[in-house]
Amino acid sequence: MKVILISFCFVLTTFLVSAKDASENSLYVFDAFQKGTVYLSDGDSTVRRMNYNAGTEEVVFEQQGKLMALDNLNLVQRIKIGENMFEPIDGKFYQKIGSCPSGLYVSYKFKVIPPSAPSAYGSESNTSASTSWTSLAGKNNLYELTIPSEYKIIRSKDFYLYKENKLCPVNKFSLVIKLYPEKEDSLKKYIKANKLGWNEIEDVQKIIEFCCN
């Protein structure tokens, strides 16, 4: 079902599920729905309790006891959830982090690992390495806040710099050096001295801001 809010001129998709906080085995990035603001390209804005669904890569928010997702991203300039800023790029939302002029973004993803099944010799084995939540329960259930406890979620993040009007992956040293070849030696020393890795937002933010300066 589509709902049009005339005052804000964007389209929402509605999902008939109860609105509640995210839990441990959740598809959502934040532990709870937080106060957020949608800023539209025409200057209007609206405030709702929001979260980011890593399963559908959408910003989801509460309205009148339902969970809803934005549908016309071309009308959205940015969304702020708590202190976290999201921007639409190429049809989906990315979280913007740090102060690098090029723009550092993170994309959240997950894989669902099915429960182990007994093998012929009594041990356990997974029937497949991973599966999509859509195939488990159908699309609408992606908006439920949890998956069954017997399934395991493996979370991951992809990092990008927005340069020359495109997203450039920066998930590892070799990719960053392609963008900043003059920083190769100094960046190696900086990463080693500060014991930085490539999995945590704070570490990647420090690495990219070092390159930008």
Which domain covers residue 43, as residue numbers? Answer: 2-97
- Please report whether residue 158 resides in a domain: no
Q: Which residue has the higher pLDDT, 54 or 105?
A: 105
- Please report whether residue 198 resides in a domain: no
Rg of the Cα atoms in the chain: 20
- Please report whether residue 31 resides in a domain: yes
pTM of the model: 0.76
Query: What pLDDT score does 142 carry?
Result: 54
Q: How many domains does the chain have?
A: 1
Residue of 94, 32, 83 whose CA lies nearest to 59: 94
Q: State which of 23-27, 62-66, 209-213 shows the largest mean pLDDT.
A: 209-213
- Please report whether residue 85 resides in a domain: yes
pLDDT digits (tens, 9 = 90+) for 162-182: 988 899 999 999 999 999 999
Helix axis angle, 201-212 to 184-194, nearest 10° = 150
What are the CA-CA distances from residue 14 to residues 49, 62, 77, 123 (Å)? 15, 10, 21, 43
Query: What pLDDT score does 69 carry?
Result: 84
